[in-house]
Amino acid sequence: MFPVFDVNTQAGKQGYNAVLVRLKDTASLGSDAAKVVGEVMTDVREYGDAAVVKYMQKWTDPGFDASRIRVSKRELDEAEAELKPEMREALEASIANVLEYQKHVCPKDADVIEIDGAELGMRFTPVESVGCLVPGGTAVLFSTLIMTAVPAIAAGVPVENISVVSPPPTRIGDEEAGDISPLVLATCKLIGIEKVYRIGGAQGVAALGYGTESVEKVEMIVGPGNVFVQLAKGMLGGACGSDNGFYGPSEIVTLADSSARIECVAADLIAQAEHNPGKCFLVAWDREVIDGIVGEVKSQLSRRKRVEAIDRALETESCAVLAKDKDEAIAYANEIACEHVNLAVADANKVLPQIKHAGEIFVGDQTPVAAGDYYAGPSHTLPTGTTARFTSGLSAYTFLKRTGTVCYPNGMSEKTMRHIAMLAEAEGLDGHAESVRVRGRK
């Protein structure tokens, strides 16, 4: 388990490169998957509920019918009523923390600046409606509901205009079909969301994007999912906006030195590996540090419930990287461009500015990634597959449209009109030029 690659040797570099290629491939939207998703999207667009039911029967529940698409108010009420007080308290604290942070970072309208007689500004306005994708096929991630819906509310999206799709568990073999998680329903109720649909996959994305008899169309779809979900979001084109991020299988890079508490670092690596699949990278420039952490991972592994999934993820999707020094280790962390970066080093605050590519950074070995997953404030919906090189995680910013404003309160000067008209005519657009000149005539 957990191969160690000394990247200053040829064999080590080759081993590391092979893992990096697999990591990047998770964000590669292959043609075979695209064909399947394209068929689903076309079906749902043309046949609505009937197509959604067909795919839910195929992948989730043979007995699924259209009456089950929309979750009833009674089901939401019952799920909330069954919440244990301790769980309610934890959920409410998480919602409050995320809302406070997201409101804090939400941008305000720019101050007006005057340039050449024009008063210029920038307004931020929220999208009118949002659909949140909450995974439920292989794991119940009710926390994703908080991390997608609450930033939308902080941005100003009315809660009554937020929809949620979350499927029952994926049926495996002949096992009995399950149902949508009561924790997802209870969390919806606590947030105030009433439009909840027990569907998922590409068909859930298509239903939100195009609308069906049972599912209301939304203006933007956000949230994580597998390659089929990510492809579906991209195929909506102008019909519906999306978060424009690849939010796939969970990942972590831990940068560690001899000051790190190995039990904390090992626990963080295991926590990401248990996502099934999870991808873990330990980067250090001291072999003893790596050996100590790898040994601690082995020691802790037997105490976890998902031992097989964790072991498989560590062996096939993960590795430890032995660099020659701290600077090289930081360079490798930036190359991996991970969803989560944990700085388990003595001078974490000095290293922080050197991390250029990361979905979210956890500073110090006393800051577990799980705090970001559930509770701290920033959304856990983050870029994966090295896409942190060019994109960001979900936040209140995701739901805001930027609109420039222009006003010439006293009209344009002769020079301004002359310049604009000259530029317009140079492009062969004399109508543009005349629309400026006419304003200068008495």
Summarised one tens digit per residue, pLDDT across range 319-331 is 899 999 999 999 9
Q: Does residue 361 contact residue 311 with C-beta atoms inside 8 Å? A: no
Tell me if 151 sits within 8 A of 98, measured CB to CB. Answer: yes
Note whether 148 and 134 are within 8 A (CB).
yes
* DSSP 8-state secondary structure symbol assigned to residue 182: H
Tell me the one-letter amino acid at 30: G
358-380 burial, b if ≥16 CB within 10 A, otherwise e? Answer: bbbbbbbbebbbbebbbbbbbbb
Distances (CA, A) of 426 to 412, 414, 421, 422, 423: 20, 18, 9, 6, 5
Output the six-digit token pair for 68. Answer: 């089950």
> CATH assignment of 31-242, given 3.20.20.80, 3.30.450.20, 2.40.50.140, 3.40.50.1980?
3.40.50.1980
The continuous run of DSSP H or E covering 115 comes out as strand 110-115
The pLDDT score that the predictor gives to residue 136 is 79
pLDDT at 176: 64
AA letter at 348 = A
Active-site residue (options: 340, 357, 360, 380): 340
pLDDT for position 109: 94
Residue of 339, 357, 360, 380 marked catalytic: 339
Per-residue HEC secondary structure of 65-82 comes to CHHHCECCHHHHHHHHHC
CB 285 within 8 A of CB 326: yes
Count H helices and E strands in the chain, helices first.
Answer: 17, 14
User: Could you give the CA distance from residue 344 to residue 364 in angstroms, rounded to a whole number?
Assistant: 5
**Torsion angle (degrees, nearest 10) of CA 359, 365, 369, 371:** -120
Could you tell me how far CA 123 lies from the centroid of its own chain?
Answer: 25
pLDDT, residue 138, reads 62
Q: Where are the beta strands (DSSP E) in 136-290?
A: 162-165, 195-197, 220-222, 241-242, 250-256, 278-284
Which CATH number applies to 4-27+248-378? 3.40.50.1980
Nearest alpha carbon to residue 53 among 212, 253, 280, 169: 212
Beta bridge partners of residue 400, listed in sequence order: 126
**Catalytic residue status for 339:** yes
Question: The tokens of 43 are what?
Answer: 């079906």
Q: Which of 343, 349, 360 is nearest to 260 (CA)?
A: 343
Domains 4-27+248-378 and 31-242 share a fold: yes
With the C-alpha atoms ordered 348, 349, 352, 354, is the resulting torsion angle positive or negative? negative
* DSSP type of residue 171: P
| pLDDT tens-digit series, residues 412-439 | 999 999 999 999 999 999 999 999 999 9
Virtual CA dihedral for 277, 282, 288, 294, nearest 10 degrees?
A: -10
Helices 182-191 and 85-105, interaxial angle, to 10°? 50
Pairwise CA distance, residues 230 & 226, whole Å: 6
Q: Is residue 357 flagged as an active site residue?
A: no
Task: For the chain, give every domain's residue range.
Answer: 4-27+248-378, 31-242, 411-440
* pLDDT tens for each residue of the chain, 442 residues long: 788 899 999 998 998 888 888 888 776 666 678 888 999 999 999 999 999 999 999 888 888 999 999 999 999 999 999 999 999 999 999 999 999 999 999 999 999 999 999 999 999 999 999 999 998 766 678 899 999 999 999 999 999 999 999 998 766 556 666 688 899 999 999 999 999 999 999 999 999 999 999 999 999 999 988 888 888 988 888 889 888 778 877 899 999 999 999 999 999 998 888 876 788 899 999 999 999 999 998 888 888 877 777 878 788 888 899 999 999 999 999 999 999 999 999 999 999 999 999 999 999 888 999 999 999 999 988 988 888 999 899 999 999 999 999 999 999 999 999 999 999 999 999 999 999 999 988 7
